[in-house]
Amino acid sequence: MRVTVRLFARLKDLAGASELARELPDGATAEAAWRSLVHETPALGDYEKAMSVAVNAEYARMNAPLHDGDEVAFLPPVSGG
C-alpha cells in the first residue's frame, strides 16, 4: 500500500522534506511508517517519545492501522509563548 507521510517543524528539517511517499505492507501501522523514516534518518528517533501522530487529520496512536491512500503526519512538540 502507498501512504503519504507529512512532517512538521524540526522533523521536516531533519528529513529534508515536508511530505514523503511510503510503500508499506498491507496491515502496516503508523509505527511502521515511522520506523521506515527513522531507518533512513536516524536523528528522527530522538523525537519519538514526545511527538504526536495523526492519520487522515485525526490524532491517533502509533498502533493505528494504515490503509492505501492514507496520510500519516508526525508532529514534534511545539513550544511558544
26-35 pLDDT tens trace: 999 999 999 9
What's the pTM value of the predicted model, to 2 decimals? 0.92
Q: What is the pLDDT of residues 6-31, one digit of tens each?
A: 999 999 999 999 999 999 999 999 99
Q: Indicate whether 14 belongs to any domain.
A: yes
Q: How many domains does the chain have?
A: 1
Q: pLDDT band for 79, please (50, 70, 90 cuts).
A: low
Q: Indicate whether 81 belongs to any domain.
A: no
CATH code: domain of residue 16: 3.10.20.30
Q: pLDDT band for 5, please (50, 70, 90 cuts).
A: very high
Q: Indicate whether 80 belongs to any domain.
A: no
Q: Indicate whether 59 belongs to any domain.
A: yes
What is the predicted pLDDT for the residue at 80? 56
| Nearest residue to 33 via CA among 73, 69, 60 | 73
In the chain, where do the E strands start and end? 2-7, 19-23, 52-55, 58-60, 71-75
Structural domain that includes position 26: 2-75
Q: What is the pLDDT of residues 33-62, one digit of tens each?
A: 999 999 999 999 999 999 999 999 999 999
Q: Indicate whether 51 belongs to any domain.
A: yes
